[in-house]
A = this chain, B = another copy of it.
Amino acid sequence: MSEPAWNPYDRNCPSRGLLDRISSRWTILIVGVLAEGPSRFSDIARRVDGLSEKMLTQTLRQLEEDGLVSRTVTPSVPVRVDYELTTDGRTLIAPLHALEDWVVTHMSQVDQARHSAREARA
């Protein structure tokens, strides 16, 4: 019994959908926050600029469903909910951080390339 040959280049392979999920804008940034430790709902919302409550909830639910994030409710008043990367979820930190890192180290280069492209078109 070998593993199925997961192949995101095939549009019907489930791995295509998983690739979409983990490479989504909000997943990358939320995992980036959780990489530094467990966080509360509103903490994440505060640190990821422009993230609506709706998308935060939705993204967290997906990550939870996929076993990448755990959700802990502390029954106090008001309720406290903590989110934390699972063991599996932590394996996402490196590849996703690499993406963030690439962006910040290449932004200036890309910016220049864009200006050059505009000049060439003029």
CA distance A22 to B98 in the complex (A): 12
Which of B4, B19, B67 sits near A103, CB closer than 8 Å? B19
A60 within 8 A of B: no
Report the count of interface residues on A (CB-CB < 8 A): 55
- Copy number in the complex reads 2
A73 within 8 A of B: no
Residues of B within 8 A of A24 (CB): 23
Residues of B within 8 A of A107 (CB): 4, 6, 14-15, 18
Q: Are A102 and B92 in contact (CB under 8 A)?
A: yes
Q: Which residues of A come within 8 Å of B, CB atoms?
A: 3-4, 6-12, 14-16, 18-20, 22-25, 28-29, 32, 47-50, 64-68, 88, 91-92, 94-96, 98-104, 106-114, 116-117
Give 12 CB contacts A-B under 8 Å.
A7-B104, A8-B103, A11-B49, A18-B103, A18-B107, A22-B103, A23-B24, A23-B99, A65-B114, A65-B117, A95-B101, A98-B98
